[in-house]
Amino acid sequence: MQEATFLILTALADGTQHGYGIISEVADISAGRVRLRAGTLYTALDRLRADGLIDVDREEIVDNRLRRYYRLSPEGGRRLAAEAARLQANARAAMKRLNPALGVI
């Protein structure tokens, strides 16, 4: 799973978000490191919807602008959990080897 995909799914993990909300959440989660551009975001959203990992939750009109809210699908939740567990296991293994004295949490 690409990092942008992982971060987008993470942004949706605890609630629905609209496009701009996802961009700010992703910036937050990555401590400002990943700033998604609109083109990249919508290419990713298009694919994630096709893969059934996210769904459209609802649409709202705010200041005459359309806002479409997205949510994680059950399958998206499972995939994100599996990917998070994999990354965690890898990170833990790396930390352990770098400093055996640290032990494993």
Partner 1 sequence: MADWSPTGAPFSISDRASASAQLERAYRRLVGFYPRSFRRESTEEIIAVLLATAREDQRRPSVMEAADLLRGALRMRLGLSGCPRTVLYAVRLMYLGALAQFGVLVILLMNWSGIEAAARGAATRSLGPHPAPAAVKYLYANIGATVGAELTADVVMTLLAIAGWALLAWANGRGLPYGRPLAIIACAAYAAVTAAGLGKGDMTYAPALAIASCVVVAVGIATVVLLVMRQSWPYYSRHVVAR
Contacting partner 1 (CB under 8 A), which of 31, 32, 50, 100? 50
3-state secondary structure 65-79: EEEEEEEECHHHHHH
The DSSP code for 14 is T
How far apart CA 4 and CA 97 sit, in angstroms, is 27
Length of the chain in terms of residues written: 105
Under the binding rule (CB under 8 A), the answer on residue 67 touching partner 1 is yes
Under the binding rule (CB under 8 A), the answer on residue 3 touching partner 1 is no
Range 9-48, binding partner 1 (CB under 8 A): 19-20, 23, 37-43, 46-47
Which part of the chain contacts partner 1 (CB under 8 A), choosing from 6-14, 60-68, 80-88, 90-98? 60-68
| Residue 44 and residue 23 in contact, taking contact as beta carbons nearer than 8 Å | no
Shortest distance in whole angstroms from residue 80 CB to partner 1: 16
Strand partners, 61: 66
| Interaction site with partner 1 (CB under 8 A) | 19-20, 23, 37-43, 46-47, 49-52, 65-68
